[in-house]
Each structure stands twice: as C-alpha cells, then as structure tokens.
Amino acid sequence: METIWQDLTRGMSGSDELIRVVFRLLAATLAGAIVGFEREHEGKSAGLRTHIVVTVGCCLLVLAGTGFGMSTDGVSRVVQGIVTGIGFLGAGNILKLNQEHSVKGLTTAAGIWATAAIGVAIGLGLVGLAFIGTFVVLFVLALVKYLEPEIPHLPGPDQGKANRDN
C-alpha cells in the first residue's frame, strides 16, 4: 500500500503541492473551456472538448516534467515537443478547397495552438499570464471577425496578375 501511495503522490511533496497541481489543472480546464465554448458556438470542428483536452494535456505534461524534477532545459524540451505535436494536430484541421481557391480551418488550428500555449503557461505557474492570453484569444475569435469586413483587402495573386495583364 505504501508503494501505491508513493506513486500517487510522487512530485507532490505535501498538501500545498497537491493543491497547486489541482488548481493548475482546474485553471487549464477553465481556460480551455472559455476558448472552446466560443469555437463550439461557431460550429467549428474543434470545440469545447478539444480545447479543454489540449490545455489540460499541455498543462499536465509541464506539471509532470517539473514534478519529476526536470531541469529548466528538460522542461524546455517538453515545451518544444508540445509545440511540434500541436502543430500536427492543428494541421489536421486545415483543408485546402481547390474549387474555391481558399483554405479553411486556419483559425481553428491557431486556436488549438493558442490553447496549447495557455496550458503550458498554466503548467509553469503563470496563471495570470495564461488568463490574460485566454481573454485576448477570446477577443480575437469573438469580436475581430466583425471588424474584418471593414478592412480593405489587397488583391490576391490571381487578381493582381489579372490587373497587370489588362
């Protein structure tokens, strides 16, 4: 029984550390839910559950590294692995639509990437920074879309060529 208890509490030297871990995982859950709710509300492929799982997973990987006693360099390599892995997850959400000459899913992929960064920040104990980032991401996703139609767009590569040929 002692061995099981040691495995359950490894990396958590006392009740303060256990509270810290639980708080960070709950904060990651909340931050992922905030961004994920907006994506779910918009009907995107990566919604509430995906964003929560990404933030919690990233937070957990960082907590595991720091709880295991990794050096700053070791934790840095964990973060580098997260960034690379999340890039592949985001890439799975991006579709090239040949008929429409457009790309779909870039914002969803960027949202997944941002929630991974939020999870890493929470795992490192930068909870305030993570929630500031969460609300900046939410602002961009929920409100900037209303400003986009007002922004003059430059002609695309095909339009520019057509204009030069005429």
Question: Is the model's pLDDT at 160 over the cut of 80?
Answer: no
Question: Is the model's pLDDT at 77 over the cut of 50?
Answer: yes
Per-residue pLDDT, 161: 43
Q: Look over the chain and give the mean of its residue pLDDT values, rounded to a whole number.
A: 84
Question: Is the model's pLDDT at 8 over the cut of 80?
Answer: no
Residue that has been written with the tokens 């057509």 in this structure: 162
pLDDT band (50, 70, 90) for residue 149: confident
Transcribe 67-87 into DSSP letters: HTT--HHHHHHHHHHHHHHHH
Which tens digits make up the pLDDT trace of 90-105? 777 776 566 666 767 7
Question: Is the model's pLDDT at 78 over the cut of 80?
Answer: yes
Of all residues in the chain, the percent with pLDDT exceeding 70 is 86
Per-residue pLDDT, 124: 95
Question: Is the model's pLDDT at 162 over the cut of 80?
Answer: no
Nearest to 139 by CA among 34, 56, 40, 22: 34
**In the predicted model, what is the mean pLDDT of residues 44-69?**
90
Which tens digits make up the pLDDT trace of 18-36? 899 999 999 999 999 999 9
Question: Is the model's pLDDT at 14 over the cut of 70?
Answer: yes
Cα 12 to its chain centre, rounded Å, is: 26
Nearest to 131 by CA among 160, 43, 139: 139
**In the predicted model, what is the mean pLDDT of residues 33-47?**
89
Which value, to the nearest 10 degrees, does the dihedral of the CA atoms of residues 99, 145, 132, 34 take? -70
Nearest to 63 by CA among 89, 26, 34: 26
- Alpha-carbon distance of 47 to 60, in angstroms, equals 20
* Residues 56 and 37 sit within 8 Å (Cβ to Cβ): no
Residue 43: phi and psi, rounded to 5, are 75, 30
- Alpha-carbon distance of 100 to 120, in angstroms, equals 36
Per-residue pLDDT, 51: 94
Which tens digits make up the pLDDT trace of 102-124? 767 788 888 999 999 999 999 99
* Residues 54 and 112 sit within 8 Å (Cβ to Cβ): yes
Nearest to 57 by CA among 8, 115, 134, 127: 115
Residue 59: phi and psi, rounded to 5, are -60, -45
